[in-house]
Amino acid sequence: MALAVGIDLGTTNSAIAYINEHGQPVVIPNELGESITPSVICFKEGEQIIGDDGKEMQALGMYPVAAFFKRQMGDELFIFQADGVDYSSTELSTLLLKKLKKNAEAHLRQTITDAVITVPAYFRDPERKATIEAGQAAGLNVLQVINEPTAAAVAYGLNKTQKKQRLLIYDLGGGTFDVTLLELEKDHVRVKNSDGDHQLGGKDWDDRIIEYLASKFQDEYGIDPLEDAESLAELLVQAEEAKKRLTSFEKTVISIAHEGKKGKYELDRATFGQITSDLMERTMSMTMRVLEDMRLKPSHIDGVLLVGGSTRMPMVHQFIKKKFGKQPMTGINVDEAVALGAALVAKERGQSKPIFALKGRTIDVTNHSLGMIAINQDQTAYINSIILSKNAEIPCQETRPYQHRTRSKDENQLEIFMTQGESESPEDVAYLGRYVVQEIPHQKGGLAVIDVGYHYDESGTVQVDAKARNNKQKLKIKIEKLPSDVPQRFMNPPALQIETPEHVTAYLAFDLSGSMDGMPLDEAKKAALEFLKNSDLSHCSIGIIAFSKRVKTKLKASQNAMKIKNAINDLTARETGVGNAAHPFDKINSLMTGLDGRRFGIVLADGVWSNQNKAIKRAKQCHSDEIDIIAIGFGGADQEFLKAIASSDEDSFYTSMDGLVETFSTIAQVLAETGGRGLGLLSRLKGI
């Protein structure tokens, strides 16, 4: 019978768990009867010693030992050499997973086939895919990788709450740190925000103890014990043990022996806190940032859940008590929580029919925005154009059109540099690779439109597909390694690209008078989001304007989908006053002045404006300045007025409230297909 397990593939320790015959999640002990296995591999004369024995060998400092390799997961440049063999972090993780699987099968006397493996919430696409690859290489069918904080929440039964709560998960493991904000309701656990640092964990606290002790020894004897491999290995063990003792005692004594000299040094909690204060501050800053991003204060949090062995340090508890005014939540072994939660998810995923063990839905989110490298509006710089924003529920997808110049006799290819990160600067994001859309069919006139789909699956990994707009033909995508000059090439101004499609700038202007309250504004927002979805942000900038009694720029033209989406969702009726005395045309004109490329003002109205003659006059000034005005009306809008403010009769549309989404969507599609030229195609909208 197939068995699905949950695996916490940790930086310093790992654990594997399953659901027993009573329906309870249980950690499977290793061959020594321990619930956790050190993530350590010692290479001794062709033999691989993994786990507790490997850690003991590490203390001797005599053989190559791989540890903390999770910090390099997905890093193609990382190599660990042992016995003349090069190992990647993925291959080292495979060895560890094989050990966990073998021990568990021996204990249960049952074959393990399927697994849910946990990863830090902030892991990007390369790290997640490397984790899946390691699991598969270890002989496991990886059902899913899930975020460690989400698994911990499931283990604590937080998905069974009867009332709405906001909880914070503070996860400080041996080598990584995660902080995650959860929103709990009766039927679901929803991840709202997360951040982390894969170069921060209990090991860094150990290292500070080592540096402190080495400094004391050198002051006394004038020699540095860190220069000797065996002394350093012994200090690694001593430091970790001292950290653990300081959890229960106010002070401890550590002995050091090096070159025939011996020293004994006292370390108390206060000193330990002083030499690691900056590390604690890093976790504090990240924790507060997760709250601030959601406009929350510590007083808004109902509870703080600790996960990871390093959270046993008293300084962590003191931080939580000081910042949140309450003691952290307890009730489960912090070393086992992640594996137990993963086992519950594995049991659910491994069933052909749901068993509802989770008592509700667990909703995870993207932890990094997904984007691409584009050229800015005036073609003076490269930017990171965000396509799929952080904190979107997974699985999720966005499809974006790309305009691409084709030639009849060329091998037409579209090059996309995929990114993860929140910054618009190409210097401050991670690059997932060079995605090349191949064999694009030549289009008459040379301009082809390719619909590229970006997907985050349930494991938070990125999938990409592409289709030709004209015939819906699925196109091949080749994922290539980044060229050696990336990201440096994107730090320089773009070279002159004659074949680049002309840039389009579009401002969406919304009448926010009182009559728009409720469903009319909801439908207008849906329509605007559909416009965004169908816009080629590599060659299009979108801005948002609100008006009624006065005019307000909600967002200057941007190629960042996340900013555009937030500006649309932030629209509220009457935010620019009651009534409809104002018009948006002067604002549109001033924002568009000096911009190159095609310029459009797309104006939505649902009633009769107070001073229509003035609005018509100012709209005509936009026409004279070669700014195309597209007028869309519904409800009580004056159709003759719409024609008067539009650049042409074909650019004015009167539709129903239900027709707004299709109207905005088709306008965006025509702009993408024509680059803003030949808007007579909009005649296909007539009659909506």
Residue 143 makes CB contacts below 8 A (sequence gap 6+) with 4, 114, 115, 116, 346, 349, 350
Task: Indicate if the pLDDT at residue 359 is higher than 60.
Answer: no
pLDDT score, position 499: 60
Q: What is the pTM of this model?
A: 0.75
Token pair of 315, please? 């300084």
When pLDDT is cut at 50, 70 and 90, the band that residue 217 belongs to is very high
Q: How far apart are CA 122 and CA 171, in angstroms?
A: 12
pLDDT digits (tens, 9 = 90+) for 381-404: 898 988 888 878 888 888 888 877
| Topology agreement, domain 202-277 and domain 504-685 | no
pLDDT score, position 468: 87
Cβ contact 679:628 at 8 Å: yes
Q: How far apart are CA 478 and CA 466, in angstroms?
A: 11
Is there a cis peptide before residue 298, judged by omega within 30 degrees of 0?
no
Over residues 271-296, the mean pLDDT reads 94
According to DSSP, the β-strands at 361-363 and 303-307 are unpaired
Cβ contact 38:49 at 8 Å: no
Token pair of 218, please? 């050198």
Report which of residues 450 and 622 the model is more confident about: 622
Closest CA to 89 of 108, 74, 106: 74
Residue 248 makes CB contacts below 8 A (sequence gap 6+) with none
- 40-76 in b/e form (b: 16+ CB < 10 A) is bbbbbeeebbbbbebbebbeebebebbbbbbbbbbee
Average pLDDT, the chain: 88
Give the C-alpha distances (Å, rounded to integers) separating 504 from 108, 353, 493, 622. 63, 50, 20, 16
pLDDT digits (tens, 9 = 90+) for 114-173: 999 999 888 889 999 999 999 999 999 999 999 888 888 888 776 566 678 899 999 998
pLDDT digits (tens, 9 = 90+) for 625-651: 999 999 999 988 889 999 999 998 888
Closest CA to 141 of 114, 117, 162, 120: 114
Over residues 422-429, the mean pLDDT reads 89
Considering only 369-378, 477-486, 608-617, which range has the smallest mean pLDDT? Answer: 369-378
Tell me the CB-side half-sphere exposure of residue 321, using CA atoms within 13 A.
6
Report which of residues 164 and 79 the model is more confident about: 79
Report which of residues 596 and 208 the model is more confident about: 208
Report helix angle 277-293 to 202-221, nearest 10. 160
* CA 242 to chain centroid: 36
When pLDDT is cut at 50, 70 and 90, the band that residue 357 belongs to is very low
**Contacts of 166-169 spanning 24+ positions with Cβ under 8 A:** 166/192, 166/296, 166/300, 166/301, 166/302, 167/301, 167/302, 167/303, 167/304, 167/305, 167/329, 168/287, 168/290, 168/291, 168/301, 168/303, 168/304, 168/305, 168/324, 169/304, 169/305, 169/307
Closest CA to 121 of 464, 453, 390: 390
Considering only 198-212, 321-335, 470-484, 669-683, which range has the smallest mean pLDDT? Answer: 669-683
Q: What are the extents of the domains in the chain?
A: 1-156+333-362, 202-277, 370-491, 504-685
Task: Indicate if the pLDDT at residue 358 is higher than 50.
Answer: no
pLDDT score, position 243: 94
pLDDT score, position 522: 95
Cβ contact 105:111 at 8 Å: yes
Tell me which CATH code domain 504-685 carries.
3.40.50.410
pLDDT digits (tens, 9 = 90+) for 559-602: 988 899 999 999 999 999 988 899 999 999 999 998 888 999 99
pLDDT score, position 293: 87
DSSP 87-104: E-HHHHHHHHHHHHHHHH
CATH 3.30.70.890 fits 370-491, yes or no: no
What beta strand segments (E) does 389-461 contain?
A: 396-405, 414-420, 430-437, 447-456
Query: What top-level class would CATH report for the domain 202-277?
Result: alpha beta
Task: Indicate if the pLDDT at residue 445 is higher than 80.
Answer: no
pLDDT score, position 592: 93
Give the C-alpha distances (Å, rounded to integers) separating 77 from 90, 217, 670. 12, 36, 44
Task: Indicate if the pLDDT at residue 216 is higher than 70.
Answer: yes
pLDDT digits (tens, 9 = 90+) for 492-518: 888 765 466 788 999 999 999 988 999
Cβ contact 214:50 at 8 Å: no
Over residues 217-237, the mean pLDDT reads 88
Amino acid at 406: T
pLDDT score, position 161: 60
pLDDT digits (tens, 9 = 90+) for 525-534: 999 999 998 8
DSSP 8-state code for residue 458: T
When pLDDT is cut at 50, 70 and 90, the band that residue 472 belongs to is confident
Task: Indicate if the pLDDT at residue 185 is higher than 80.
Answer: no
Q: How far apart are CA 636 and CA 642, in angstroms?
A: 12
Q: How far apart are CA 454 and CA 104, in angstroms?
A: 38
Query: What top-level class would CATH report for the domain 1-156+333-362?
Result: alpha beta
pLDDT digits (tens, 9 = 90+) for 3-15: 899 999 999 999 9
When pLDDT is cut at 50, 70 and 90, the band that residue 551 belongs to is very high
Cβ neighbours around 224 below 10 Å, total: 14
When pLDDT is cut at 50, 70 and 90, the band that residue 330 belongs to is confident
pLDDT score, position 446: 67
Token pair of 271, please? 């000193």
